[in-house]
Amino acid sequence: MLRDAILPPPSSFCAPLVFLLSLLVLVASPPSLAHGQQTDSTLTVGSKKFTENVILGWMGTHLLRSEELPATHREELGGSRFLWEALRRGDIDAYPEYTGTLLREILSDVDVTRETLADTLARYGVAMSQPLGFNNTYALGMRADRADSLGIRTIGDLRDHPDLTFGFTNEFMDRGDGWPSLRAAYDLPQSARGIDHDLAYRGLQSGQLDVIDLYSTDAEIERYDLRVLEDTKDHFPSYQAVFLYRRDLQTRAPAAVDALTRLEGQLPADTMQALNARSAIDQVDEAQVAAHFVNRTLGLATTFAPDTRAERLRRYTADHLVLVGVSLALAVLLGLPLGIVAAKRRLLGPGILAVVGIIYTIPALALLALMVPLLGLGRVPAITALTLYSLLPIVWTTYTGLQDLPGSLLESAKALGLSPAATLWRVELPLAARSILAGIKIAVIINIGAATLGALIGAGGYGQPILTGIRRANLGLILEGTVPAAVLTILLLGVLEGVERALLPRSMQT
């Protein structure tokens, strides 16, 4: 199942730019970045950004490690499409998926049934384990007290209560088996708005929402005393949990396939719901929940010591600094010349300003999403997206800084006999420096914030604890990402302030 927006296909207008830029990123990055941070022999398990999938991802990772296979876990990736693309590209080797999602969403354009699913996947170079045991289907839920007072038991009963407020995950809002087709199937009069799944539970609690979409193994069903409305028309398909893995794993690392398939049939629905509750409600780290399960059920001896806060902070900071540092450097290297060309070439100028403006209007999340099919997961696509995103302030302030210079000064330079290039270098850029530095400062602020989204495509950074914190409704974890990001912003702005003082003559300082 997909809990996140299905991402739009990459639009063609920026594709050449993206390729050019990613080439630059590759050149500019240390070699270890170029291939998703790991060597070829390391196996990578992916997981989506919700508790159950993260736990399953950790189970797979623990099982691989128990076979002495080097394995890493890229947890909390931004959506099913990301993982599917990443699996096909080889950025990851395996991830937990659901049959309903495969049939209705990922392969919705293909003629495929549950019976032909494994053969169809094989055509994409993907293999599928037997079901792990539980069926985590979509459902609609309400608070039990509210449902009782209105006498609602089934989805069809909602028809008689047009005033109810519906809040669904953005993915549910437009997926094939989601709200539009459900609404048609049951002839429901309500309209609905999109909302993050973890926030939806809180909306339901506070009474701002009456009906949300949920998953039949959600730990919150019991915790919040929710009523799961009966799907009397069997609208929702079956969502059997399986492990997907690359077919080449069968030859590359047969032990890995053996390890992953040990989970087959081991996870009945009540077991999964209990594991989800351990994490979502008791706040136990998913890696530990998964380790405990595989040790007890499959007789492994996995020990997993979660990182201390200091270790985590160090890792997040290192990741975040790479994202921000490389992308800002590239944005300056690209943005400055683009701004100069925009200011100097009447014909090109409006086009350049428009293109960087349009790029900026793409929501940061969507821009990241555009990168995944082109560049896969990890730092390269994240840095590429961040670079594109940081161009706007730098290009525009360079442009306006140069445009706003008094004509008399440019004439003076010309009258002295300076060539256009020398005028630019010795007169125009120094005079526009304040404006350009202001643009770079804005880019820093934008970039550090947007870089937290990099965690959604496996680039790590301060976004990782924020994602986990939102998922577990854990303010401490959210602050673990937001506070250092704010501190980093202040520090970097301080550095730039120092650069400004060092670079600018006193006549140009305030």
Residue ranges that bind other proteins, judged by CB under 8 A:
408-409, 411-419, 422, 426-427, 430-431, 433, 504-508
C-alpha pair distances (Å), 86 with each of 89, 91, 142: 5, 5, 35
Q: Is the separation of the CB atoms in 130 and 265 below 8 Å?
A: yes
Give backbone dihedrals phi and psi of 413, rounded to 5 degrees, phi first.
-65, -40
Smaller CB separation from other proteins, 129 or 398:
398
Specify whether the CB–CB gap between 216 and 137 falls below 8 A: yes
Identify which of residues 281 and 438 has a Cβ nearer to other proteins in the complex.
Answer: 438
DSSP 504: S
Task: Output the CA torsion sign for 69, 75, 80, 84.
Answer: negative
Which of 410, 445 has the CB closer to other proteins? 410
Q: Minimum CB separation from other proteins for residue 411, in Å?
A: 6
Q: Quick one: how far is CA 240 from the chain centroid?
A: 24
Q: How far is the CB of 453 from other proteins (least distance, A)?
A: 38
Nearer to other proteins, 116 or 412 (CB): 412
Burial 26-41 (b: 16+ CB within 10 A, else e): beebeeebeebbbeee
Instruction: Give the total residue count for the chain.
Output: 510
CA-based nearest residue to 60, from 262, 284, 240 = 262
Q: Which is nearer to other proteins, 247 or 434 (CB)?
A: 434
Residue 18: its H or E element: helix 15-28
Residue 458: C-alpha distances to residues 30, 246, 297, 299, 312 (Å): 17, 19, 30, 31, 15
Tokens, residue 362: 């793409």
Q: By three-state DSSP, how is residue 212 classified? A: strand
Q: Nearer to other proteins by C-beta: 384 or 397?
A: 397
> Which lies closer to other proteins via its Cβ, residue 12 or residue 408?
408
What's the closest the beta carbon of residue 334 comes to other proteins, in angstroms? 25
CB of 346 to other proteins, least distance (A): 18
State the Cα–Cα distance between residues 330 and 144, nearest whole angstrom.
54
- CB closer to other proteins out of 438 and 445: 438
Report helix, strand or coil for 228.
strand
126-128 and 241-246 strand pairing: antiparallel
Selection from 411, 394, 376, 260 nearest residue 334 by Cα: 394
Q: How far is the CB of 402 from other proteins (least distance, A)?
A: 14
Residue 433: CB minimum distance to other proteins, A: 8
In the complex, minimum distance from the CB of residue 124 to other proteins, in angstroms, rounded to a whole number: 60
- Amino acid 349 reads G
Q: Which is nearer to other proteins, 200 or 436 (CB)?
A: 436
Measure the CA–CA gap between 414 and 419, rounded to whole angstroms. Answer: 7
Min dist CB 425 to other proteins, Å, is 9
Quick one: 309 or 414, whose CB is closer to other proteins?
A: 414
Q: What is the DSSP-derived secondary structure letter of residue 214?
A: E
Least Å from the CB of residue 342 to other proteins: 22
CA 277 to chain centre: 24
Least separation in angstroms between residue 434's CB and other proteins is 10
